A and B are shown apart, each in its own frame.
Chain A
Amino acid sequence: MSERIGMEIALAAAEAVALCKPDVVAAYPITPNTHIPEHLSDIVAEGRLDADFICVESEHSALSACCGASGAGARAFTATSSQGLLYMAEVVPIVPSMRLPIVMAIGNRALSGPINIWNDHSDIMSQRDSGWISMFAADGQETIDMMIQAFKIAEHRDVMLPVNVNLDGFQLTHVVEPMMMPSQKEVDKFLPAYKPYAAVHPDNIVSMGSLAMPEIFNEAMMAKDQVLINSKKIILEIWKEWEEQFGRKYEPIGEYRMEGAEVAMLTLGSMGDTAEVAIDALREKGVKAGLLKMKLWRPFPVEELLKAVSGLKSLVVIDRAVSFGGPCGPVCLEVKSALYDQKERPLITNYIIGLGGRDVVVADFVKIAEQAIGAQKKKPAKAYEIYGVRGS
C-alpha cells in the first residue's frame, strides 16, 4: 500500500528512484538538485539500496559513468541542474543514439551568466534537441510518479531511450509537502527487472558508439528521430497502466477548467499549480479561461496540442526561458509551428516569466490572461514579452 508522507520533494524523488532499484547512481552535486543524489547516497550507505554510488568528479563523468554502466546492462540514474547539464552536454546526445535507457532528474535552474542558482527552464531548453524523452512534473506527487514511470518508459523494448524528468529548482526541490509514496511491492509490480537488449560483456562481444560514415549518418539520425516520435505511443500506454494501478492520471497535456474556454494559458512544470488558482479567479470574474499543463515536452505532443486548443480564441503560452534572438520563447516557438498549418487557430501571445527565480504570483497570471484577452481584438505589437521587467 502507498503511504501518505510529508517530505522535501528532492528527498522524495530519491526515495522513488531507490524503489526502482538502480544498479548504478553516478552524480556530482550542484544546487538545486543536490539533495536527490545526496539522499540516494544515504540510502545506499544505510543498506536500503544495493547500488554502486559513484562519486564522480564532474557531471561529464557522471553521465559517462552512467553510459558505461547502462551499456554493461545496469539500470543507471543521475541528476543535475543548470551548468551541470551543460558540463555533461557532450555526452547527452550520445545516450539516445546508443539507445541507453538512463534516467536523469533535472532540478531546473537558470544558466549563467550572470550566475544565478534559481529556477527557470533555460537548462533543459538548451538540450531540447538531444533526443531524450523529456517530461515536466508540476508538484511533488508528479515528481515521484514520473521518476518511477521514467524507468519503465526508458527500458521498454520499443523505446530504449533515456528520459529526463524536470522538476523546478527550489519551487519543487526544496519544498516539504504531502505525497503518496508507493510501496516497494507496488513498484515491483509496475516496474519489471531491467533486461538489457544488448550489453557489453567479454563473452558476448557487441560494439556500441562506433563511428558512422556519411553513408549511414542520415539513416542513423532518422532512426533516432523516429524512435523518439514513436515512443509517445508507449508513454501513453505506460501512463494508462500507471493510472490503472495507482489511480493518478497522466496525459501529455493536462487540462484544467477547459470546458467552454475561450482563452487558455499553457504552462510547463510547477507554474501550472499557481496558474490553476488564477484560472479560478478569472472564472469567478466570468472570464471563460482554462489551463493547459504540458507534462510531455519531448516527444512534442502535436496531436494532443491541436485537440486541446481547438475552439480557443486566444492561447497564452508561458515560457520560462528565452530563445535569445529568436522569434519568441522556446515553448511558444514549438506551439506556433505545430499550429501553423491549421486553418483555424487561436491568437497566440507569449509571456516569458519567472527567469532566474523571479517570483510569479497568482495576480501575475491573472494580469497576463487579461492582457491576452485584450489582445484578442488587436494583434499584440510584440511577438513576446518578458513579463515584469522593471523600468519597461
Chain B
Amino acid sequence: MIEIRWHGRGGQGAVTSVETLALAAIGEGQYAQGFPSFGPERRGAPVAAFNRIDDKKIRVRSGIYNPDVVIVLDASLMVLVNVAEGLNPEGTLIVNTAKSPEEVKTETGFKGTVATVDASKIAREEMGVPITNTTMIGAAIKATGLVKIESVKEPLKKRFGKIAQKNINAMERAYKELKIAK
C-alpha cells in the first residue's frame, strides 16, 4: 500500500487532486482512498489531503503519518510546514517550484527521491490561472508510476467538462517537464 500526503493552501484544490487520483486508480481496478484533512477549510491556510492506493481492499481508516510520497502544491508552504515530516526516508518528495531537485534536497535535508517542476508556470500558460492541483497530478504520476496518465483523463473530463482539456494539457506538460533526483 502506498500512502500519499498532499500539501496546499485552502482554495488551491488539494481535495480535487486526491479525488482525481483516487478515481483514476479505482478506474484501473485498483483500490484507493482519497480524503481531506478532516476539518474546517480556510482559504489560504495550509491544508493537507491524502491518498492510499493498493491492489487489495484498504481497511485502514486512520490518518496518514508516515507517507511514502509527499506532494507540495505551493512551495511557499515549505517555510511554514515541515513537508517532509514523517516521510518514508526512501520515499519521494514532489514540489511545485522552479528550483532544481538538488536545491530542494539541500533545503529540506530530505535524502530520498526529490522531484520538481514549475507547475505554477505551466498552469498559468496552459490554463491562465496558477491553480496547480491537476497539473501536479502529472508530476505525481511521472515520479511514482502509481496510475497511467490515460486513467486520469476520464475523471478530469467528468469533473471539469469543457475546461478538462486545458487541465489535461497542463498535467501532460508537468509529466514531461518533471526533473527527478534519486
Q: Name A's B-contacting residues (CB within 8 A).
A: 4-6, 8, 32, 117-118, 170-172, 174-178, 270-271, 273-274, 276-277, 357, 359-362
- Interface CB pairs A-B, < 8 A, 23: A6-B25, A6-B27, A8-B19, A32-B38, A117-B39, A170-B38, A171-B38, A172-B61, A174-B35, A176-B18, A176-B19, A176-B32, A176-B34, A176-B35, A177-B26, A177-B34, A178-B32, A274-B59, A276-B59, A277-B60, A361-B62, A361-B65, A362-B62
User: Are B32 and A6 interface neighbours, CB within 8 A?
Assistant: yes
Q: Contacting B59 at CB < 8 Å: which of A170, A172, A277, A357? A: A277
Q: Contacting A6 at CB < 8 Å: which of B22, B58, B59? A: B22
Interface of B is mostly: mixed
Known contacts A6-B22, A6-B23, A6-B27; A174/B62 CB under 8 A: no
Q: Tell me, in angstroms, the Cα distance from A117 to B41 when the chains sit together.
A: 12
- Least distance between B32 CB and chain A CB atoms (Å): 7
Known: A6-B32, A172-B61. 7 other contacts (CB 8 A): A6-B23, A174-B38, A176-B35, A276-B59, A357-B38, A359-B62, A362-B60
User: Are A274 and B23 interface neighbours, CB within 8 A?
Assistant: no
Inter-chain contacts of B58 with A (CB < 8 A) = 177
Counted as pairs of residues, one from A and one from B, with CB atoms less than 8 Å apart, the total is 69
User: Are A118 and B60 interface neighbours, CB within 8 A?
Assistant: no
Q: Tell me, in angstroms, the Cα distance from A274 to B62 when the chains sit together.
A: 7
- Least distance between B21 CB and chain A CB atoms (Å): 9
Q: For chain B residues 58-72, which have a beta carbon within 8 Å of chain A?
A: 58-63, 65
Inter-chain contacts of B155 with A (CB < 8 A) = 6
**Among all A-B residue pairs, the 8 with the closest Cβ atoms:** A6-B26, A170-B38, A176-B34, A273-B59, A361-B62, A6-B23, A178-B26, A176-B22
Inter-chain contacts of B34 with A (CB < 8 A) = 175-177
Q: For chain B residues 13-44, which have a beta carbon within 8 Å of chain A?
A: 18-19, 22-23, 25-27, 29, 31-36, 38-40
Q: Tell me, in angstroms, the Cα distance from A5 to B38 when the chains sit together.
A: 23
Complex: chain B residue closest to A179, CB-CB: B26
Q: Tell me, in angstroms, the Cα distance from A34 to B8 when the chains sit together.
A: 24
Inter-chain contacts of B62 with A (CB < 8 A) = 274, 359-362
User: Are A118 and B32 interface neighbours, CB within 8 A?
Assistant: no
- Least distance between B97 CB and chain A CB atoms (Å): 28
- Least distance between B177 CB and chain A CB atoms (Å): 28
User: Are B32 and A174 interface neighbours, CB within 8 A?
Assistant: no
- Least distance between B165 CB and chain A CB atoms (Å): 22
Inter-chain contacts of B18 with A (CB < 8 A) = 176
Complex: chain B residue closest to A171, CB-CB: B61
Q: Contacting B33 at CB < 8 Å: which of A5, A117, A176, A276? A: A176
Q: Tell me, in angstroms, the Cα distance from A164 to B33 when the chains sit together.
A: 25
Complex: chain B residue closest to A168, CB-CB: B61
Complex: chain A residue closest to B52, CB-CB: A177
Inter-chain contacts of A273 with B (CB < 8 A) = 59-61
- Least distance between A280 CB and chain B CB atoms (Å): 9
Complex: chain B residue closest to A169, CB-CB: B38
User: Are A118 and B59 interface neighbours, CB within 8 A?
Assistant: no
Complex: chain A residue closest to B36, CB-CB: A174
- Least distance between A363 CB and chain B CB atoms (Å): 9
User: Are B22 and A177 interface neighbours, CB within 8 A?
Assistant: yes
Q: Tell me, in angstroms, the Cα distance from A118 to B38 when the chains sit together.
A: 8
- Least distance between B121 CB and chain A CB atoms (Å): 29
User: Are A175 and B61 interface neighbours, CB within 8 A?
Assistant: yes
- Least distance between A365 CB and chain B CB atoms (Å): 10
